[in-house]
Structure 1
Amino acid sequence: MIADDQALVRGALAALLDLEPDLTVVAEVGRGDEVVAAAREHRPDVALLDVEMPGIDGIAAAAALRKAMPGCKVLMVTTFGRPGYLRRAMAAGASGFVVKDTPARQLADAVRRIASGLRVVDPTLAAETLASGDSPLTPREADVLRAAREGGTAADVAGQLGLTEGTVRNHLSSAIGKTGARTRAEAVRLADENGWL
């Protein structure tokens, strides 16, 4: 099964994998919140999930899929090879993580290996992930930065998260310091680039 919000990419992946004599794409979806229902209906052995999709992102979809159908293995296939995404995807139960510029034969091999119970991770991304370390942000600091993406005031973020303005300012200040940023917009950008949000 393939889940990717870009129809052209989704179709190309399906066509490439269907060329393999031992692989069959049984379902395609364009939103993260469609993954579990499609998997329940079509019973795939492996689900290829993009990270950034509407509805819910691929990492949340991976966690939901692993809970609903533990026998279905998850391979994250994304344009965004960010260390934080790799850590979060593996923590959510993904068995593999590759970038979309992986050659077709390697992608097919990754699907086979994951179906057989092995893990597959892009080696360059694995090295970057080890070198970058864990996210320095607490879960609440990450929540505040996610809410701050829209550019609202501290009061807007506080209202959205059910916090006081002072608490939001404290979390923003801490996140700015931990990311080495000068502004909250830069902190959001750096946290996004590292896959921490």
Structure 2
Amino acid sequence: MPVALHVVVVDPLPLYGIGAATVLSAAGHRVDRVADALAWPRTNERALVLLTLSSRYAWDVLGELSGAGGCKVVAVVDEGTHAGVRAVRAGATSVLARTAEPEVLLRTVEATAYGQSVLPTGLLAALTGASADAVRPSAERLSWLRQLSNGTTVADLARQAGYSERAMFRLLKALYTDLGTRTRMQAVMRAQELGWLPGGNGSSAG
């Protein structure tokens, strides 16, 4: 029989959080539902967190948790590959669709706890580059590139967008990778080539 796990469920909707906790508890696992996702893992180095990425704060939480030694995160996202790709690149161990069946939730949490990464097939294809060119960044992320190309600093951009500067660096790195690039200049040029940003000589410097 599998060893009982200790899982924290973090979701802004009580109904989903209670449902997830019920599924995991019925399988014999110990479950906490907490308001402050950052406080719990600090005293539980072997924590496994089921985290719904539905707000900017949740993305900041993911960035903080991914830096905590031994903390594994199952990111719960809406359908589609973009959020899943972002989640993996921001440090999530596994990704679960919010519409997943209870059995899938349980299998994903248990597999993650035992050292596996569980990803939807479409997400795996996107991460390996099979569909990277087809993923257009959101209007918000394109606006980040536009502002950076015009000289806005990452610190200023983070304040405007409502993220910590550390989280913004991680999000920008993920954005550059989504575009198949490594630097700000390359990302801006790539977005211009694809027609997602207006072109301009020298606009991508910095």
**Deviation, structure 1 residue 92:** 1.8
**In structure 2, do the counterparts of structure 1 residues 85 and 142 end up closer, same or farther at CA, with 3 Å as the change threshold?**
farther
Structure with higher helix content: 1
**Deviation, structure 1 residue 111:** 0.7
Match 1:35 to one of 34, 37, 45:
37
**In structure 2, do the counterparts of structure 1 residues 136 and 101 end up closer, same or farther at CA, with 3 Å as the change threshold?**
closer
Amino acid at match of 1:19: A
Q: Secondary structure at the match of 2:32?
A: coil
Aligned to 1:157: none
* CA contact 1:83–1:132 (8 Å) conserved in 2: no
Q: Does 1:9 align with 2:9?
A: no
- In structure 2, distance between residues paired with 1:42 and 1:28: 13
* CA contact 1:3–1:47 (8 Å) conserved in 2: yes
Amino acid at match of 1:115: A
Q: Secondary structure at the match of 2:75?
A: strand
Aligned to 2:165: none
- In structure 1, distance between residues paired with 2:197 and 2:143: 14
State the TM-score, normalizing by the size of structure 2.
0.59
Structure 2 counterparts to residues 89-128 of structure 1, below 5 A: 89-127=87-125
Unaligned segments of structure 2, at least 5 residues: 1-7, 151-155, 159-186, 199-206
Q: Secondary structure at the match of 1:37?
A: coil
Q: Secondary structure at the match of 1:25?
A: strand
- In structure 1, distance between residues paired with 2:195 and 2:115: 36
Match 2:30 to one of 18, 24, 32:
24
Q: Secondary structure at the match of 1:49?
A: strand
Aligned to 1:73: 72
Aligned to 1:185: none
State the TM-score, normalizing by the size of structure 1.
0.61
Amino acid at match of 1:53: S
**Deviation, structure 1 residue 40:** 2.1
Match 2:53 to one of 45, 51, 57:
51
- In structure 2, distance between residues paired with 1:122 and 1:174: 27
* CA RMSD of superposed structures (Å): 3.5
**Deviation, structure 1 residue 127:** 3.6
**Deviation, structure 1 residue 99:** 0.4
* CA contact 1:75–1:97 (8 Å) conserved in 2: yes
- In structure 1, distance between residues paired with 2:24 and 2:195: 40
**Deviation, structure 1 residue 181:** 8.5
* CA contact 1:10–1:28 (8 Å) conserved in 2: no
- In structure 1, distance between residues paired with 2:157 and 2:95: 31
Aligned to 2:62: 62
